[in-house]
Amino acid sequence: MMKRQKIAALLKTENPIENILIKGWVRTKRDAKTFSFIEVNDGSCLKNIQIIVDEKTKGYNEIKKLTTGSAVAVWGNIVSSQGGGQQWEVQAIKIETISLASETFPLQKKRHSDEYLRTIAHLRPRTNKYGSVFRIRSELAYAVHQFFREQGFRYIHTPVITGSDCEGAGELFRVTTLDPSSAMISNKKLNFSDDFFGAESNLAVSGQLSAEMFALALGDVYTFGPTFRAENSNTSRHVAEFWMIEPEMAFCDLTGNMDMGETLIKFLIQFTIDNCSEDLNLFSRFVDKTLMKTLENIIISDFIRLPYHEAIEILTQAKTTFEFEVAYGSDLQSEHERYLTEKHFKKPVILFDYPKTIKPFYMRLNEDDETVAAMDILVPRIGELIGGSQREERLDVLEKRMTESGLSRENYWWYLDSRRFGTVPHSGFGLGFERLLMLITGISNIRDVIPFPRTPGNIDF
């Protein structure tokens, strides 16, 4: 059986090619008296390939019925295009209809709103914009693996179902096999001993604690997998399920951690520019005209490194009215982060040494006994892209911080073990993959860079 060739590869040819087979979907069709132009897309790239079908083409009579979205197989020759707009086109020898799309196919040739396309998330990757989003997403995921592998990191699959709550934020999805209508009602509370894991189990908000165990064995490791927050917020920045990249490095301090975060962000942007120019071009033309300037500015900038307390001073003196008040000891809001990167410094900013009161127990306590060795990387338009820290490697300090945070040492016996047996300074961070995609594509709603977004009330597809 003859194998189909992908349009992405064919369009890169330097010479005409005879006897090719293309399979794909009809985007548009223009009929003239004795011939038709059919634009076919197979998803391998943004571009369609133009097919010329005329009276000599076997199957010419059937193409009258072809609707937008129909699937076709085309045998023919790649020839120089006489018309403008494309270098190559296909002179069809034979065309076959694989299937017709019903006339109710929602993606007719017109612009649709992102809101509407979210309601047909199963079809939106067939549009130019979302095809490009998901091709870039795929390339970026690959780039993450390539980056870490070349630096000798090991990829660790940390568990999604977990008994611990890394961030202590309490925004957890519970995982259960209990039938609530029987087992529990009798004693008016959940009896976890009957549950699948025999204990309360949740979806992981981070793979960090598990990854630390592996960093202390294999050296440099990273996770890259789904993480979950049961946060009831309907904003353009929150989804309940998202992917996170979390490197964890033994023998690495806060400075090394910042260096790694900065290098990674620059690498991933450069990789997209080098490998996804056609798709990226769509976003810089139609989504955000300043996109390339923003991205190139990040690549060439030395990121500002600024202690948290200095950031607070800058924000306090800023001649801008913020919705949320700025005060030492409170978390920065998105508007503050964007002020620092977009208005004040006009480049990415790494904030570090946050007050311990607003950061989790595992961050290393600084000598002032007041701040921890945390660092967040803020970028224009997104705000916080990376959050990380040097981890508390001293057993006694860690235990004290856990007690202060109301965490049970018994539940974390294994985590504490790692500080008993050959503990070393180590650091890591989390990079939200969807936020990275928003940065790189200019798309402003997180729901539009993930295949099937999960938000309060939305479990379709």
Residues in 376-435 that interact with a copy of itself by CB under 8 A: 393, 414-415, 417-418, 420-425
Q: Which of 85, 188, 321, 367 binds a copy of itself (CB under 8 A)?
A: 188
CB of 442 to a copy of itself, least distance (A): 20
60 touches a copy of itself (CB under 8 A): no
Report in angstroms how near the CB of residue 349 gets to a copy of itself at its nearest: 23
* Cα R_g (the chain), whole angstroms: 27
In 3D space, the residue among 276, 248, 255, 288 whose CA is nearest the CA of residue 143 turns out to be 276
- The stretch among 172-180, 280-288, 369-377, 401-409 that binds a copy of itself (CB under 8 A) is 172-180
Q: Nearer to a copy of itself by C-beta: 312 or 437?
A: 437
Residues in the chain: 461
Instruction: Sketch the per residue contact string, 274 through 313, with a copy of itself: x for CB under 8 A, - otherwise.
Output: ----------------------------------------
How far, rounded to the nearest angstrom, does the alpha carbon of residue 41 sit from its chain's CA centroid?
Answer: 25
Residue of the chain from 59, 163, 168, 355 that contacts a copy of itself (CB under 8 A): 163
Choice from 30, 87, 197, 329 touching a copy of itself (CB under 8 A): 197
Closest to a copy of itself by CB, 17 or 79: 17
Task: Detail the DSSP E strand segments found in 42-141.
Answer: 49-54, 71-80, 88-99
Q: Which residues of 270-300 are buried (b: 16+ CB within 10 A; e: fewer)?
A: ebbeebbeebbebbbeebbeebeebbeebee
Nearer CB in complex with a copy of itself: 130/429: 130
3-state SS track over 318-329: CCCCCCCCCCCC
Q: Residue from 54, 87, 199, 234 that binds a copy of itself (CB under 8 A)?
A: 199
- Six token digits for residue 414: 């294994």
Q: Rule CB under 8 A: which of 205-234 touch a copy of itself?
A: 210, 213-214, 216-220, 225-226, 228, 230, 232
Give the residue with the Cβ less far from a copy of itself, 72 or 265.
72
Identify the residue among 31, 169, 198, 277 touching a copy of itself (CB under 8 A): 198
Place of tokens 């006994």: 369
Residue 110 or 420 with smaller CB distance to a copy of itself: 420
State which residue, 315 or 446, has the beta carbon closest to a copy of itself. Answer: 446
Interface positions, 439-458, toward a copy of itself (CB under 8 A): 450-452, 454, 456-458
As measured in angstroms, the least distance from the Cβ of 167 to a copy of itself is 16
Phi, psi dihedrals of residue 33, rounded to the nearest 5°: -65, -45
Query: From the list 94, 145, 237, 238, which residue makes contact with a copy of itself (rule: CB under 8 A)?
Result: 145
Nearer to a copy of itself, 146 or 405 (CB): 146
111 to 13, 107, 129, 444: CA distances (angstroms): 31, 9, 10, 18
Min dist. Cβ of residue 199 to a copy of itself (A): 5
Size of the site for a copy of itself (CB under 8 A): 111
For residues 99 and 408, which CB has a smaller minimum distance to a copy of itself in the complex?
A: 99
Of 295, 237, 235, 287, nearest to 265 by C-alpha is 295
Considering only residues 232-261, where is the footprint of a copy of itself by CB under 8 A?
Answer: 232, 240-241, 243, 250-251, 255
What SS3 class is residue 307?
A: strand
Give the separation between CA 51 and CA 44, rounded to whole angstroms. 17
Q: How far is the CB of 178 from a copy of itself (least distance, A)?
A: 8
Interface with a copy of itself (CB under 8 A), residue from 135, 364, 435, 447: 135
> Scanning residues 64 to 123, which ones bind a copy of itself (CB under 8 A)?
69-71, 73, 98-102, 104-105, 107, 120-123
What distance in Å separates the CA atoms of residue 41 and residue 8, rounded to the nearest whole number? 10
181 counts as binding a copy of itself under rule CB under 8 A: yes
d(CA 330, CA 333) in angstroms, rounded, equals 9
Q: Does 17 bind a copy of itself (CB under 8 A)?
A: no
Sole window of 32-40, 87-95, 136-144, 298-306 interacting with a copy of itself (rule: CB under 8 A): 136-144
**Of positions 63, 92, 203, 311, contacts a copy of itself by CB under 8 A:** 203
- Are the C-beta atoms of residues 396 and 365 closer than 8 Å to each other? no
| Selected binder of a copy of itself within 161, 169, 299, 358 (CB under 8 A) | 161
Q: Contact, 132 vs 140, CB < 8 A?
A: no
CA distance 336 to 358: 16
Q: Helix H segments across 195-276?
A: 208-218, 254-275
Instruction: Give the E-state strand segments of 32-125 in sequence order.
Output: 35-41, 49-54, 71-80, 88-99
- Give dist(CA 30, CA 39) in Å, integer: 9
* Token digits of residue 268: 């991933």
Strand pairing category for 88-99 and 371-379: unpaired
Tokens read off for 26: 């009809």
Among 190, 273, 304, 318, binds a copy of itself (CB under 8 A): 190
